[in-house]
Amino acid sequence: MAVTLTDSILKDLHLRMVRIRRFEETAGKMMESGKIPGALHLYVGEEAVASGVMAHLSNDDQITSTHRGHGHLIAKGGEFSPMMAELFGKATGYCKGKGGSMHISNMKLGMLGANGIVGGGPPIAMGAAFSNKFRKTKNVACCFFGDGASNEGSFHEAANMAGLYKLPVIFVCENNGYGEYTPQRNHQAIVDVADRAAGYGMPGVIVDGMDVVAVFEAAGEAIARARAGEGPTLLECKTYRFYDHVGVRGMGLTYRTDDELEEWKKKDPIDLFEGRLKEQGILSEAEIQAVHAAVAADIEKAIAFAESSPFPDPSAIEQDVYA
Amino acid sequence: MAEAVATKARTLTYVAAINEAVRTVLKEQPNAFAAGEDIGGAGGVYGYFHGLQAEFGADRVYDTPISEKGIIGLGVGAGATGCRPILDLMFMDFMGECMDEIANQLAKMRYMFGGAANLPVTVLTMAGAGASLAAQHSQSLEAWVCHLPGVKICMPCTPYDAKGLIISAARDDNPVFVVLNKMSLAMKGEVPEETYAIPLSKANIVRPGSNYTIVAWGRMVHEAVAAANKLKDLGVDAEVIDPRTLQPFDTATVVQSVKKTHRAMIVHEAVRFGGFGGEIASQIQELAFDYLDAPIGRVGAPFSPVPFSPALEKHYVPNADAIVAGVKAQLGI
């Protein structure tokens, strides 16, 4: 699908990425300061993937996410305040404080949840796509998963059924080179997860996951195919996690080298894209700074909202178990 | 084999009642579909989907690959987005293939999302020993499901209950497991032609009695009734209660009975140790301790996998004699 890259699309892609980056950096600080309990898996470095895909989706299109899910929800239209409140464990959070980082979700936005189980998302996304087809809509489901999840049986069962039923689903593999702390070469015998598409009768496409425009264009084609009833696609986005599997450390990790991180940081998706926007005269440096400042102000408001919100009452524990 | 043909007295087999219930649901709910292994062209390995694909079409009744994670996941994703899936998990033993989708996704999604998701998913599955299907096709694993907040579970023991409970399950906005028993498939019973629903919250007093309470579910209800008939000569007038639904469990009906009878036995086909009967016994003693004249008894399968040989299996599965023996031992009679 040849979507013309208008200025407004480019600015939209930029804003989505900046919103994710700023939110994640702040959330990391909040976790370090003890305001956010539990485990945070941050999306810093991978922003181009969520942003490039989500720019094609409406609220009636669904996504399933991963344990690294904040970026997906932000790109899908999630608001900072209920997100931050959820991470704080507050009653005003998107999940009333019952889900937290690993289960953050918003059904109205078609965001069927971050997922604490690696490989939890693919069967659910396949089911949502089945529903779209069954209900005769033109909606699609996008399933975000990692190179690690591509080794789970759930991925293979879901991919097979999606291919079999020609479902409107896009399996978006965020191949960041690591399944938790294990490098890809030590967890699978292939380099390109996209190779696995052939086994399920769907195209496998590889794209530079640090280039938001490349992701946007490739995702656009896959989503157009799905909407046209031509079935699923496996879209592999080569990307990198700037932080650790959990938390905010980037440097000095035992399972990867600082040099490797530095090499990938040269491909920072936001830096690269901002350079391009300036070069093409779409945004000036001052305008870019204004975008960052506006996002930062929104995040400050979200922190204030989260901090001033009440914790859930203990009486809420046994609520929402059943309809 | 499973075609729902009404006789004059409108007697149906268990398998035909299941079939009629699914047909009823597919008729009354346009967003319902059925999906499972071999259910379309073949009508299911036990035949209870017989004729449904021909009647409703391949876009209502789906053959799936042998992919239990995929089947349950299909139900989660479709159920959360406006469909009402009826899934067939051929044997309950296969929960091992899809326990993440059951326990971590289906059961928890609503809660994790702060109540924002509905999961109107019905799972039909087959339990029970007695057909020499050995350790991986004979288990009664209802305790696994009962331990999962977010899921309901019922175990119909007659054709009448099968139809009424499946219809209730499919109308419920929660995930509901309907655990069927493979040894009951040919059982006959009266089933009204009209649509009816049996509430997923109310126990059935199958046989009233005055001085003993037997709580049994699934196929064990029939063994319990047979045992009660034998016990009558010993001066034991047993009330047999079939909870029908294990989650939610109708504790009130059971406790009320025990307050009247003062003695109780819990019977299930599942392995006795760690079985759901322990939970019921515990609830009775918590709520009716002062009314008890004897320790609460339990009858269940031995602590072993289900054996293959008929010579072993017939001793493995609890029956009326085992219940009678248990009652006699408990009462010292």
Is the torsion defined by CA of A30, A34, A38, A41 positive or negative? positive
Cβ neighbourhood burial of B82 (10 Å; 0-12, 13-18, 19+): middle
Total length of chain B: 333
The token pair that represents B239 in the structure block: 């009330």
Nearest CA in chain B to A93: B114
For residue B31, the chain A residues in CB contact (below 8 A) are 134-135
A92 lies in a domain?
yes
CB contact under 8 A, B74 and A62: no
A320 lies in a domain?
no
Is A291's Cβ below 8 Å from some Cβ in B?
Answer: no
pLDDT at residue number A2: 57
A128 vs B67, B81, B115: nearest CB: B81
CB contact under 8 A, B65 and A125: no
pLDDT at residue number A4: 81
Could you tell me where the beta strands, DSSP code E, fall in chain A?
A: 62-64, 141-146, 169-175, 178-179, 182-183, 204-208, 233-238
| CA A196 to chain centroid | 21
A78 lies in a domain?
yes
| B147 part of the active site | no
For residue B104, the chain A residues in CB contact (below 8 A) are 116-117, 120
CB contact under 8 A, B112 and A103: yes
Whether pLDDT at A42 is above 80: yes
B30: CB partners within 8 A, 6+ apart? none
pLDDT at residue number A154: 98
The token pair that represents B198 in the structure block: 């049996």
Q: Rounded CA gap, A109 and A117, in Å?
A: 21
A283 lies in a domain?
no
The three state secondary structure string of B252-275 is: HHHHHHHHHHCCEEEEEEEECCCC
Contact call for residues A216 and A11 (beta carbons, < 8 A): no
State whether residue A44 is helix, strand or coil.
Answer: coil
Q: Rounded CA gap, B257 and B214, in Å?
A: 9
CATH code, A182: 3.40.50.970
The amino acid at A67: H
Catalytic residue among B137, B147, B262, B315: B137
A120 vs B70, B100, B118: nearest CB: B100
Whether pLDDT at A225 is above 70: yes
Angstroms from A120 CA to nearest CA on chain B: 7
pLDDT at residue number A113: 98
A44 lies in a domain?
yes
Nearest CA in chain A to B106: A124
Q: Rounded CA gap, A280 and A286, in Å?
A: 15
For residue B83, the chain A residues in CB contact (below 8 A) are 130-131, 134-135
Nearest CA in chain A to B108: A321
A123 vs B81, B101, B114: nearest CB: B101
For residue A125, the chain B residues in CB contact (below 8 A) are 77
Is the torsion defined by CA of A63, A68, A74, A78 positive or negative? positive
Interval A99-157: pLDDT, tens: 999 999 999 999 999 999 999 999 999 999 999 999 999 999 999 999 999 999 999 99
Nearest to B122, CA basis, from B180, B66, B64: B180
A122 lies in a domain?
yes
The token pair that represents B332 in the structure block: 């010292």
Interface of B with A (CB under 8 A): 31, 33, 59, 62, 64-65, 67-70, 72-83, 85, 100-101, 104-105, 109-120, 149-150, 152, 172-174
* Boundaries of domain holding A154: 7-267+301-308
pLDDT at residue number A127: 98
Buried-exposed string B238-265: b where 16+ CB fall within 10 A, e elsewhere: bbbbbbbbbbebbbebbbbbbebbebbb
B173 vs A117, A132, A323: nearest CB: A323
Q: Rounded CA gap, B169 and B156, in Å?
A: 11
Q: Tell me which residues of chain A, numbers 11 to 70, contact chain B at a CB-CB cutoff of 8 Å.
A: 62, 64
A125 vs B72, B77, B104: nearest CB: B77
CB contact under 8 A, A107 and B116: yes
B160: CB partners within 8 A, 6+ apart? B17, B189, B190, B191, B192
The amino acid at B275: G
Here the ipTM equals: 0.96
pLDDT at residue number A16: 98
Q: What share of chain A is helix, strand, coil (3-state, %, to 5)?
A: 50, 10, 40
CB contact under 8 A, A320 and B110: yes
For residue A98, the chain B residues in CB contact (below 8 A) are 111-114
A296 lies in a domain?
no
Domain architecture of chain B: domains with CATH: 11-190 (3.40.50.970), 204-331 (3.40.50.920)
Nearest to B66, CA basis, from A160, A220, A65: A160
For chain B, 333 residues long, give each residue's pLDDT as a single digit of tens: 344 444 445 999 999 999 999 999 999 999 999 999 999 999 999 999 999 999 999 999 999 999 999 999 999 999 999 999 999 999 999 999 999 999 999 999 999 999 999 999 999 999 999 999 999 999 999 999 999 999 999 999 999 999 999 999 999 999 999 999 999 999 999 999 999 999 999 999 999 999 999 999 999 999 999 999 999 999 999 999 999 999 999 999 999 999 999 999 999 999 999 999 999 999 999 999 999 999 999 999 999 999 999 999 999 999 999 999 999 999 999
pLDDT at residue number B6: 46
Place of tokens 């089945």: A130
Contacts 24+ apart (CB under 8 A), A76-79: A76/A50, A76/A106, A76/A109, A76/A110, A76/A111, A77/A109, A78/A104, A78/A106, A78/A109, A78/A111, A79/A302
Contact call for residues B267 and B281 (beta carbons, < 8 A): no
Instruction: Give the HSE-up count for residue A6: Cα atoms under 13 Å, Cβ half-sphere.
Output: 5
For chain A, the domain total comes to 1
Q: Rounded CA gap, B185 and B159, in Å?
A: 9
